[in-house]
Chains A and B, each alone.
Chain A
Amino acid sequence: MIPNLLETENLTVRFGGHVAVDAVSCAFRAGELTAIVGPNGAGKTTYFNLISGQIAASAGKVRLLGEDITNLSVAQRCRRGLGRAFQLTNLFPDLSVLENVRLVVQARRNTGFRLLSMADRRTDLYEAAMQVLTRVRLADLRAQKVSELSHGNQRKLEVAMLIALDPKVYMFDEPTAGMSVDEAPVVLDLIAQLKADTDRTILLVEHKLDVIRTLADRIIVLHNGALAADGDPATVMASDVVQEAYMGKELEDV
């Protein structure tokens, strides 16, 4: 049996009286790409925040490779193999493109506390960073300040940061949001390539149905914070729950 890389068990968070994520139990296997869908406010990003640790859970557990990580900090979870790209671009704006990626490479290799070596002379860090930048086609822009990049390129860099982290669990939060029609395929191709790597798992929050249809092995539907449906794309999209709870009309048109 393929092991579960990531599991959530009755994962819940309440903000005051409002239950934003309601007892979601779900396991994610290696080699699988799971799309998480649901209407706005369904709790998709909050669910992500609970898994990666930006928000503390009110109840329930998160397990990574069988280990309970519910009480670990964001950085500790990341170091154990949980990588996340953000919905709203979240980079180091005043640093160069190269520096952004190199910082990730550096974090993974634990060189952060080297005080007396010169960062620019570390060819190993440079090459690892450049390799990733080449994959997302940003190598030519390496010296640019991130704040001067176009929105699409910032989104690509966001993905590059995650690839450079080389995690066990990739979490993408609407990776193509706001990208132009020519730019989006680059990112989607990258995700498809990552999927080929079978000892990883990918979680993808996405609105675009065509993207989900081509990439997802499985879909889970969140509605009002609770798990409303879970299964292979064809079944879930056809299910009554989804039709009623969320996509209903939209799907009938397809």
Chain B
Amino acid sequence: MLNLLSGDRPRSIILTLILLAILIALALAPFLFPGVRSLETAARICIFIVLAASYDLLLGYTGIVSFAHTMFFGMGAYGVALASTHMGRGYDALIVGSLGGAVLAAILALGIGLFSLRVRAIFFAMITLAVASAVAVLVSQMSWLTGGEDGLNYLIPRELTPAFRFGEAFGVKLTGKLVNYYVIFGFSLVLFLLLLRIVNSPFGRVLQAIRENDFRAEAIGYRVVWYRTAATCLSAAIAALAGSLFAIWLRYVGPDTTLSFEIMLDILLMVVIGGMGTIYGAVLGATIFVLAQNYLQNLMGVASEATGSIPVLHELLSPDRWLLWLGVLFILSVYFFPSGIVGRLRAGR
């Protein structure tokens, strides 16, 4: 067990319990929370945990700010979409698309890294922003290839779709959607554990050293540029794989769902709220955030109805204002837990 976690224990009882609860809830989601909507939410949580964790490798461990993480996420997603469109429905298309997307993402990250990480980290942030915007524009303009703003719909193997039925268990109909969910869950878990291993490897320690003091890391013989670039490539490849999972789950890709700057901000918030430089923070951040995205609006709708007679409050609680409340939540969490929820829990032990 400890080997799976790479010797990196949660180091807080409450955190351990929360993580276990999330793991169990996700592992048994189709049976614990039957319904299309909740399964949708669970799959999204799995994928965003991986996406946020891969961003934490950059932001939290290496101390690099990148705005291109959704671009890499999108590359994986479009990889699967394009492969499935052009190679036809099949597992080979999924594999080729996923690996192709991940490799291309890593190569692009290598290019951006070597070009800009030599200079200052802030320059890297600006370059990633520029490249990500350019790619987003390209994708929406090259509609002959990418379907433009409409995106792409494609077929995936029948065993992964709701049309495939194979019985019933615990009162839940067993369909291909369920198989698909467990594919997503399984790969997400593996990728998450892989990231946990990477940050606890000698390589991970060097990244932390670079974050702490790049000047000294260089002076004890580490070629900082190479380490930063390697971290960027790894993080990009894993983000792309998360994107592939997303594409396999949704059977649709479009600029809004995979490339938008909003998702970039979401990832940033997930990592910061959860706790930077902990990897576990990504689990908490992604879970809280996706749940809020999916259910906060409902909750607010109910609250808004209930307070219909009170003028200002009614307005404030309207579901359209959910981002405002999320913003408030974010400010409060940064103010009260500057080291994120995980940092707070670990310190309070």
- Spell out A's residues near B (CB within 8 Å): 52, 54, 73-76, 78-79, 84, 86, 90-95, 99, 102-104, 106-108, 111-122, 125, 161, 165
Contacts and interface: CB of A to CB of B under 8 A. Distances in A.
B208 A112 contact: no
A127 B7 CA distance: 18
A115 B217 CA distance: 18
B213 A115 contact: no
Given A94-B212, A95-B209, A113 B222 contact: no
B203 interface: yes
Contacts of A84: 219
A107 B226 CA distance: 14
A165 B221 CA distance: 9
B224 A93 contact: no
Contact of A106 (B205, B213, B215, B216): B205
A173 to B, nearest CB: 12
A92 B224 CA distance: 14
Residue among B217, B220, B222 with most chain A CB within 10 A: B220
Contact of A92 (B7, B203, B212, B234): B212
A165 to B, nearest CB: 6
Contacts of A106: 202, 205-206
Interface in B182-221: 197-198, 200-206, 208-209, 212-213, 215-221
B213 A93 contact: yes
Contact of A99 (B197, B205, B217, B219): B205
Given A75-B222, A106-B205, A117-B201, A112 B227 contact: yes
A112 B202 contact: yes
Interface string B164-191: 0000000000000000000000000000
Q: Which 7 A-B pairs have the closest CB atoms?
A: A78-B221, A92-B212, A107-B221, A111-B202, A114-B202, A74-B218, A75-B223
Interface size class of B (residues with CB under 8 A): 20 to 34
Residue among A79, A91, A106, A122 with most chain B CB within 10 A: A106
B216 A90 contact: yes
A102 B202 CA distance: 9
Nearest to B198: A115
B230 interface: yes
B209 A116 contact: no
Nearest to B234: A115
Contacts of B206: 103, 106-107, 112
Contact of A118 (B197, B217, B219): B197
Given A74-B219, A75-B224, A117 B202 contact: yes
B205 A119 contact: yes
B6 interface: yes
7 contacts: A54-B219, A79-B221, A86-B216, A92-B217, A102-B205, A103-B217, A118-B6
A95 B212 contact: yes
Given A73-B223, A114-B201, A115-B197, 20 more contacts: A54-B215, A74-B218, A75-B221, A78-B220, A84-B219, A90-B216, A91-B216, A92-B217, A93-B213, A103-B205, A103-B220, A106-B205, A107-B220, A112-B202, A112-B203, A112-B206, A115-B201, A115-B234, A119-B201, A165-B221
Contacts of A74: 218-219
A161 B220 contact: yes
Contact of A104 (B213, B215, B220, B224): B220
Contacts of A125: 202
A125 B206 CA distance: 14
A113 B227 CA distance: 8
Contacts of B230: 113
A75 B218 contact: yes
Given A92-B209, A118-B201, A119-B201, A107 B6 contact: no
A120 B219 contact: no
A94 to B, nearest CB: 6
B214 to A, nearest CB: 10
A90 B221 contact: no
A176 to B, nearest CB: 20
Contacts of B224: 75
B213 A112 contact: no
B202 A93 contact: no
A115 B232 CA distance: 14
A131 B26 CA distance: 46
